[in-house]
């Protein structure tokens, strides 16, 4: 019940109850037609591949798609699509299923006609073509992008039945881009330059105020994700990357960066992306994403289908402040916590993958995960968040998520006190 | 001409010849209609995204595709498709453009009907369903897969005009899979178990002999790539991953692993994937991929289009023996070498990305890159390889590649002595 990888196998053998394979494999005494009879794919040549130059997933994976919550937005041009976290593994989100949110539709931009302007408190206002940008030094980093509203609908209690919907406003890809500080240095910052305002070229003309310290730290002007060009809905041909900070600031279809001496107090940092507290004041400029985690399997969209026995629990964790050295998992709603096994690169401000292998006894489970980040911060409970911020909030819900798994292995979104 | 990132910018300013942006940006004195006039995408709402749940690249990127060399194989069912390296950046290859080679077409397998058998010199022969496999502990690793024949057509001299064709039999993705040693331990290896023979479920029934030491070291039985299910042409639902070793051994559509006490000497390790030397003997079992690199930009498919001035040279490097701590670049055919700048995660047996920024004077260039791996091995010249192995070889050409760039910025595949 508390296996290390070693005990996962030797424990089973020692117990004499059979190993994973012995428990679940089809025995030689009852031949399995899937192996005793030749399959079509062993006998007949498969299709060639050159007819489909940009490859697509297998037809057997057609259920692995972004999904939307229909009641959430009024129209598909102000819509949102959630990453199918329960269908993924590792830490890379494939471009085809990356969460995306747009405020005026996905702008279809001809890169030859696109320009990026830097203006305001600079020595020299500049306009770059895409070809100009390709002549600046580039860097490569894997970063998570999480919407500040991710899990926001859960403030009021367990609402949505699946981690795709509760936690799917996130993706994690490798970006290639130009350090923003190089472009700002090219323009030359005036001494009173304290803020920047990136602006999108889409019809919503998205803008957010960002302090100059962040702009000069690790922001990127990115043009590739996971090796290839940004997708249209991710800001093609160029977007801002603001590592560890809320996704709304990562302005897509980036056309202009204004440099100023104070924030602009635009819609997306006043009416939206602020947290109304119990005393009537609002938290503002809460950019940094706190450490968070979620169990992706089992979960409501990914039940345990195999019955009692060894099973793999897995999930993802991330922090806007660094890495995730540790995730704890509980099977009983927090009575006992077990340290999960991390696997995959541990990169700054990137998603991390954790696993916990255990033998399921077939009884109900109350599953939770709790992330610890490299600053020592520990993911709080939802009730702790409510104590701190009241119940009016939408944004920045990084509370611990609970799944209830019944005897049939079906999972449900629940809250426990 | 030998810039660090610092000198890239300050050098330009100090020289008083203007910075990158000043040289190339559109000036305020001649207004650019692309910024003075509103674009359609700023005025009209874009398309919603929910109509296309599995996302695709922008229509402006339709040239970024795998390509084949038509004369190379007799039919598309024994065909091959090359990664467009010159269009990518960073280190992740998107699944849609990953190199693939198949010997009997891409088998379209129903995962519910697929089985993996382990037989031969084991205590207990086992058969796993895909659901069984999902109950074993998993790991995540980024590995390059390179065909042993990559660059093989270049033994006879400069043949193919583009790094997609000379070096595109490679991809680099994050795999999620089960350590093979766990499955072998489940079956129980007999004391005379010295080799394994993985076998594919496709019509070609691909097989290769692999020594047990490698099988128990870092091989994975993988079911995901870059977070999502393996693509059909990459072995869906399950393939073998043999890190750092030639791609032909990474058996796709994996249906059986036989354990034996000696190699099987099948077709793909006798007639194929051996190197005929000058003395009539053949090198065999040359599994490990030697350190290698190639400049992807500029290259024949990606010329310098911007004229003289600052430019970014970039490329990729990899080694089957570890990491790539260093890549050297020459602009003059080897007279002067400069250390390139590495950017991105440096992972074991993974592709690495390098950059070299310089100011092009508009004169012809002879570009080469030279990888150093973590064992101290240095990538050789093509002529050194020919001295060592003669001129009959096809496989394992890791020689230094040369691109000639003319005054117009056009690049060509050449050899220099």
Strand order in the sheet with A411-414: A338-339, A326-330, A365-372, A402-405, A411-414
Q: Which of A79, A65, A180, A93 is nearest to A133 (CA)?
A: A180
Number of structural domains found in chain B: 2
* Residue A372, domain member (yes or no): yes
Average pLDDT, integer, range B187-199: 98
Closest partner residue to A107 (CB to CB) among B41, B59, B102 is B41
Domain interval for residue A300? 292-414
- The shortest CB-CB distance from B77 to any of A45, A137, A201 is to A45
Q: Which residues of B touch A105 (CB under 8 A)?
A: 45-48
For the cut 90, the answer to whether the pLDDT of residue B304 exceeds it is yes
Q: What's the whole-number mean pLDDT along residues A161-166?
A: 96
Chain B: residue whose CA lies nearest to A116: B35
Peptide bond before residue A345 is cis, with ω within 30 degrees of 0: no
B138–A343: do the CB atoms touch at under 8 Å?
yes
CATH number at residue A338: 2.60.40.650
Note the Cα A254 to chain centre separation in Å.
21
The answer to whether A90 and B224 are in contact (CB under 8 A) is yes
Whole-Å CA distances, B238 to B131, B186, B202: 12, 18, 12
Percent of chain B with pLDDT over 90: 80
Q: Is the pLDDT of residue B7 over 50?
A: no
* CATH number for position B176: 3.90.420.10
pLDDT for B76 beyond 80: no
Residue B70 located in a structural domain: no
B279 and B300 fall within a common domain: no
Q: Is B273 inside any structural domain?
A: yes
Question: Are A200 and A342 within one domain?
Answer: no
Q: Check pLDDT > 60 for residue A40.
A: yes
Distance CA B127, CA B150 (A): 35
Both A134 and A277 in one domain: the answer is: yes
Look at residue A47 in the predicted model and tell me its pLDDT.
Answer: 78
Looking at the structure, do residues A346 and A216 belong to the same domain, yes or no?
A: no
Cβ atoms of B126 and A21 closer than 8 Å: yes
Clarify whether residues B255 and B139 are in a common domain.
yes
Residues in chain A with CB shorter than 8 Å from the CB of B25 are 126-129, 132
Number of helices (H) and strands (E) in chain B: give both, helices first.
Answer: 9, 23
Please tell me the predicted confidence (pLDDT) of residue A31. Answer: 64
- Tell me the average pLDDT across B109-113: 94
Cβ distance A233 to B49 less than 8 Å, yes or no, reads yes
Nearest-neighbour CA in chain A from B278: distance (Å): 36
Q: Phi and psi of B276, rounded to 5°?
A: -75, 120
Least confident among A142-146, A283-287, B50-54, B203-207: B50-54
Q: Tell me the average pLDDT across B364-370.
A: 98
Average pLDDT of chain A to the nearest whole number: 90
Q: Taking residues A57-81, report their average pLDDT.
A: 86
Q: Which of A5-9, A404-408, B60-64 has the lowest mean pLDDT?
A: A5-9
| pLDDT in the model for residue B23 | 43
Residue B327's pLDDT is what? 98
Could you say which of A259, A283, A307 is where a domain stops? A283
Domain end residue (candidates: B229, B252, B283): B283
**Contact flag B89-A135 (C-beta cutoff 8 Å):** no
- Name the nearest CA neighbour of B136 among A5, A74, A211, A132: A5
Please give the share of chain A, as a percent, with pLDDT higher than 70.
91
Closest Cα in chain A, distance from residue B96 (Å): 4
Asked if residue A40 is part of any domain, the answer here is: no
Same domain for B172 and B235?
Answer: yes
Query: Is A91 in contact with B306 (Cβ distance < 8 A)?
Result: no
Q: What confidence tier does B30 reach under pLDDT thresholds 50, 70, 90?
A: low
Sequential DSSP letters for A229-276: EPPGGGTTT-EEE-TTB-GGGS-SSEEEEEEESS----GGGTTSS-EE
Confidence of residue B31 (pLDDT cuts 50, 70, 90): low
pLDDT in the model for residue B393: 87
Rounded Cα distance between B352 and A305, Å, is: 40
Q: Cβ A132–B21 below 8 Å, yes or no?
A: yes
Best mutation target among B137, B350, B409 (most A Cβ atoms within 10 Å) is B137
Q: Are A163 and A366 in contact (CB under 8 A)?
A: no
B303 and B254 in a common domain = no
pLDDT class for B45, splitting at 50, 70, 90?
A: confident
pLDDT band at A314 (very low <50, low <70, confident <90, very high): very high
Q: Mean pLDDT, to the nearest integer, of A90-109?
A: 94
- Say if residue A337 is in the same domain as residue A274: no
Q: Quick one: pLDDT at residue B52?
A: 57
pLDDT tens for residues B212-223? 999 999 999 999
Q: How far is A135 from chain B (nearest CA, A)?
A: 5
Structure tokens at A216: 């000069």
């Amino acid at each position: 019940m508390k296996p290390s990888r070693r005990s996962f196998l030797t424990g089973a053998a020692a117990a004499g109850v059979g190993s994973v394979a012995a428990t679940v494999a089809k025995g030689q005494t009852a031949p399995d037609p899937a192996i005793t009879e030749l399959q079509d794919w062993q006998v007949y040549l498969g299709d060639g591949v050159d007819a489909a130059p940009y490859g697509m997933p297998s037809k057997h994976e057609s259920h692995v798609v972004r999904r939307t919550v229909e009641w959430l937005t009024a129209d598909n041009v102000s819509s949102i699509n959630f990453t199918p976290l329960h269908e993924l593994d590792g830490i890379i989100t494939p471009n085809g299923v990356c969460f995306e949110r747009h405020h005026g539709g996905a702008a279809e931009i001809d890169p030859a006609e696109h320009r990026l302007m830097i203006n305001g408190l600079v020595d020299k206002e500049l306009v770059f073509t895409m070809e100009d940008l390709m002549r600046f030094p580039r860097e490569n980093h894997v970063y998570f992008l999480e919407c500040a509203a991710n899990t926001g609908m859960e403030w009021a209690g367990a609402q949505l039945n699946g981690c795709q919907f509760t936690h799917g406003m996130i993706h994690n890809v490798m970006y290639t881009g130009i350090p923003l500080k190089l472009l700002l240095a090219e323009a030359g910052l005036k001494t009173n330059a304290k803020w920047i305002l990136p602006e999108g070229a889409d019809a919503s003309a998205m803008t957010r105020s960002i302090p100059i310290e962040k702009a000069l730290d690790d922001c990127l002007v990115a043009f590739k994700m996971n090796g290839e060009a940004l997708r249209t809905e991710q800001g093609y041909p160029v977007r801002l990357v603001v590592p560890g900070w809320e996704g709304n600031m990562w302005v897509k279809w980036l056309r202009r960066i204004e440099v100023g001496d104070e924030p602009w107090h635009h819609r997306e940092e006043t009416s939206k992306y602020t947290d109304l507290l119990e005393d009537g004041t609002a938290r503002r400029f809460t950019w940094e994403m706190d450490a968070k985690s979620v169990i992706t399997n089992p979960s409501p969209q990914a039940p345990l289908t195999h019955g009692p026995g060894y099973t793999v629990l897995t999930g993802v964790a991330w922090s806007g402040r660094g890495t995730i050295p540790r995730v704890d998992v509980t099977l009983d709603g927090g009575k006992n916590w077990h340290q999960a096994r991390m696997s995959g690169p541990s990169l700054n401000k990137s998603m991390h993958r954790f696993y916990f292998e255990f033998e399921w006894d077939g009884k109900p489970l109350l599953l939770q995960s709790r992330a610890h980040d490299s600053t020592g911060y520990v993911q709080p409970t939802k009730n702790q968040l409510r104590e701190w911020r009241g119940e009016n909030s939408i944004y920045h819900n990084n509370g611990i998520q609970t799944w209830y798994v019944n005897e049939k292995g079906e999972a449900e979104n629940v809250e426990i006190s």
